[in-house]
């Protein structure tokens, strides 16, 4: 069993028991854990494990149109990647589903290999999202460990100001600014100025600094 498959769970929402059962068997035979649901309500009532996941969702459901449910999930902020399937698909519906964020759209009857490929792609999307979320959480943790002054210096450095300009803005000596700058680079684990600027953009630190420290009045007196 592939390690990437063993850590993943596939959710299936389809109101036909035979379809749920067939897909469940297909995914389990490929090493995935599977959760089966007969309706969107059943899916929403279940707490999903904190693991890479995707949703295989039928478009034609008795309780709620699958694409409407897809839209509801997105509006609620649920990021689970979706593979849509239908026995009544057409090109406009397929395009609409993809534009709405579906990873893939398969018309029944579909080839098992196509479904497995679609699910693998959806799980990769979720793994990448989770990795990005973990990275941002760590970045935020590093940022919160900075002193208030180091955060100010970081914002102004990332806004393109030189040490001398930052010293003037903050009422510090240039040497003190250099010390703060060196300390925050180490604490943020930044390898370069470009790296620090990228971090500041993610954290919105540059905009915060711009709001706090307005540029000097350059108008003629």
End-to-end CA distance of the chain: 75
- Residue range 126-140, pLDDT digits in tens: 999 998 888 888 899
For residue 111, what pLDDT band results from cuts at 50, 70 and 90? very high
Query: For position 89, what pLDDT does the model report?
Result: 65
Full-model pTM: 0.68
Average pLDDT of the segment spanning 38-56: 94
CB 150 within 8 Å of CB 184: yes
Query: For position 67, what pLDDT does the model report?
Result: 86
Handedness of CA 153, 154, 157, 162 (dihedral sign): positive
Q: Report how many helices (DSSP H) and strands (DSSP E) the chain contains, helices first.
A: 11, 5
**Please, which residues have CB within 8 angstroms of residue 122's CB and are 6 or more apart in sequence?**
54, 55, 81, 82, 83, 103, 104
**Please, which residues have CB within 8 angstroms of residue 53's CB and are 6 or more apart in sequence?**
8, 9, 10, 11, 80, 81, 123, 126
Sorted by where each starts, the structural domains of the chain and their CATH numbers stand as: 3-134 (3.40.50.2300), 145-212 (1.10.10.10)
């Amino acid at each position: 069993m592939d390690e990437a498959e063993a850590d993943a769970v596939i959710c299936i929402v389809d109101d036909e028991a035979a379809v749920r059962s067939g897909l469940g068997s297909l995914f389990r035979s490929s090493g995935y854990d599977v959760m089966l649901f007969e309706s969107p309500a059943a899916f929403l009532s279940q707490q999903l494990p904190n693991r890479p996941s995707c949703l295989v969702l039928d478009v034609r459901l008795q309780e709620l149109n699958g694409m409407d449910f897809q839209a509801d999930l997105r509006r609620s902020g649920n990021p689970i990647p979706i593979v849509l399937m239908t026995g009544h698909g057409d090109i406009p519906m397929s395009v609409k589903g993809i534009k709405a964020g579906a990873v893939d759209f398969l018309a029944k009857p579909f080839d098992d290999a196509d479904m497995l490929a679609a699910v693998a792609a959806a799980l990769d999307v979720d793994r990448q999202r989770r990795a990005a979320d973990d990275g941002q959480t760590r970045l935020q943790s590093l940022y919160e460990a900075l002193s208030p002054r180091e955060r100010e210096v970081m914002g102004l450095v990332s806004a393109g100001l030189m040490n001398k300009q930052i010293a003037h803005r903050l009422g510090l000596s240039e040497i003190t600014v250099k010390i703060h700058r060196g300390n925050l680079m180490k604490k943020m684990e930044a390898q370069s100025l470009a790296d620090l600027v990228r971090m500041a953009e993610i954290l919105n630190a540059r905009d915060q600094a711009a709001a706090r420290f307005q540029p000097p009045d350059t108008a003629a007196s």
